[in-house]
Amino acid sequence: MAQRDYYEILGVERTVDAAALKSAYRRLAMEHHPDRNGGSEESVARFKEISEAYTVLSDEQKRAAYDRFGHAGVNGGGAGGGNPFGQGGAGFHDINDIFSQ
């Protein structure tokens, strides 16, 4: 299942400022909160979706990554920053270890 656009979920434009973003989140969170909707599965799922969207869009770094790479930018979809050539010198502790071999 494809993930929905976070801006669409919150009903805001991509140029939204922090205050308007928070206002949209609060309105939707109150409307779809499980306690206000008898704890239905639909309200729980919608509330989680709204909360996830706000968590990403309210954080400047996460929002920038989302704007640039979409869901892959915030869900760890990219390759890690590790060494592509394996362990490298992971077992190496002391220069004398090399000479004693």
Convert the pLDDT of each residue in 1-55 to its tens digit. 568 999 999 999 999 999 999 999 999 999 999 999 898 999 999 999 999 999 9
Whole-model pTM: value is: 0.72
How far is it, in rounded angstroms, from Cα 34 to Cα 44? 5
Ordered domains of the chain (ranges, CATH)? 1-71 (1.10.287.110)
pLDDT at 3: 86
- 73 burial (CB, 10 Å; 0-12 / 13-18 / 19+) is middle
More confident residue, 39 or 91: 39
Q: Is 89 a residue whose pLDDT tops 60?
A: no
pLDDT of residue 91: 56
Q: How many CB atoms lie within 10 A of CB 37?
A: 14
Cα separation, 15 vs 25, in Å, equals 15
- Using one digit for the tens of pLDDT, what is the confidence trace for 56-66? 999 999 999 99
* Distance, C-alpha 52 to centroid of its chain: 7
pLDDT of residue 85: 54
